[in-house]
Structure 1
């Protein structure tokens, strides 16, 4: 219908370029995570995936898209695009692999600090790449600001994982003891 204005809530990109390709490639590579040997209970894995999705979205949409902060832009446009939603899936492998390797290595004492530092440096490197590919466009933010953010988020993420494991194990032990009482 000519002349009728149809509201768009999700826009398609005006130009399909390197940032969209990057998102697609990372999402395809993320599918291989399901092939990894299981190291944690399925319930815990699901919660880790959900947290990996939620935390970056909250942070990105709090400091990137909302005034008065508005310190970086996601993708090419100020409008909310389909690829802004797909970008959320790029964060899942980071959080999942961080916990997966933590469970596999089980670092103790000072090695936990080294583990967190290594993941924060990896995250900085990853963010450097996505800034170069224009997935993020800074206008007020600096890469150096991200490092303490990653240190805090990764530390809290691992504390959350330990919390989940503790309660998952106690739930299993409690159900086993109730079965033995019968």
Structure 2
């Protein structure tokens, strides 16, 4: 889900509420955020597709410097939208945020010189529980805006969905 906060601008700059528990709660989106993360990456860096399987996380992602193409993929086995993905540009100029529910894999690629990505999580990071899925898995078919990304070793060698299917979370109402 894309979140477009109200931005109040004047000659001094701008002000916005990047999170308001009451407003998010009215939309059924309020979570008990327990961790804030901040990454800085250079152009063409692609991080993802990542998720935690047992300690699933909801994320609220925004960019405070630069521009990224951000992606969420439904990897919940049995979901009506299994392997469906959504992507959007998040930037310091559009102030957009992406709300990513539990059971979705997350990834982004940097399309500016550098980008700072900040995101809230409703559960703690657990490397032992993290699952990495191939960014270029043809079964998912994300239309990334770059052809030759800079990848970590983990992202470069990640299995496809077919190679990690049994580890994926199960859809439930």
Q: Hey, which of these two has a bigger chunk of helix by percent?
A: 1
TM over 0.5: no
> Structure 2 length as normaliser, TM-score?
0.24
> Structure 1 length as normaliser, TM-score?
0.23
Higher radius of gyration, 1 or 2: 1
